[in-house]
Amino acid sequence: MPRLIEATPDPGPCMTAEREAALGDDMIAAAPPRPETHAVVIGHHTLPLVLSLMHRGCAAVAGLRLGTRAPDVEPADLAWIADPHSNAELDEAMDTACHRLGPQGRVVLDVTALAQAGGLASVQRQIAAFGLCIASIGESSSHLILVAMRAPALARAA
């Protein structure tokens, strides 16, 4: 007699798109952009997050892949760092974000992978090393999102 064997579904492009859409929603919830916000998204797969920001009315958005240099250094009010996989990637992304961040700007970081690896204390030290302090922590069912800003004394001097 034939038996029905259930297989695990193939995690194809739709699964990835859904995950990235959920990440975009979580990051937007943590730091909602306004139409006049200049934003930069830094990470491995930036296009879905750029599109998420644009769909929410943020007209000035740039996407930067990790390991590449941008041809411009337009100041940003909001920098998204999406899913760094290591402390080295976070360091590179933070450096890029801080070079673009205006004095009142915010950095929104998805630190889910780093926190799961047990490195949240290290992430906090890295953020502080760039002169930023954590302004808020947002946690959804699948993402840990930090929002960081320049430390008050540094923001006044910038």
Residues 110-140: tens digit of each pLDDT: 998 888 887 788 888 999 999 999 999 887 7
Q: Sign of dihedral through CA atoms 15, 145, 102, 36?
A: positive
Distance CA 127, CA 139 (A): 18
Q: Dihedral angle at the C-alpha atoms of 65, 70, 68, 42, nearest 10 degrees?
A: -30
Q: Give the Cβ contact number of residue 131 at 10 Å.
A: 17
pLDDT for the residue 68: 76
Looking at residue 12, its pLDDT comes to 40
Check residues 18 and 153 and name the one with the higher pLDDT.
Answer: 18
Give the predicted TM-score (pTM) of the model: 0.80
User: How many Å apart are CA 18 and CA 61, to the nearest integer?
Assistant: 21
Contact 74, 38 (CB under 8 A): yes
Q: Two tokens at 81?
A: 């760092």
The answer, yes or no, to whether residue 1 has pLDDT greater than 60, is: no
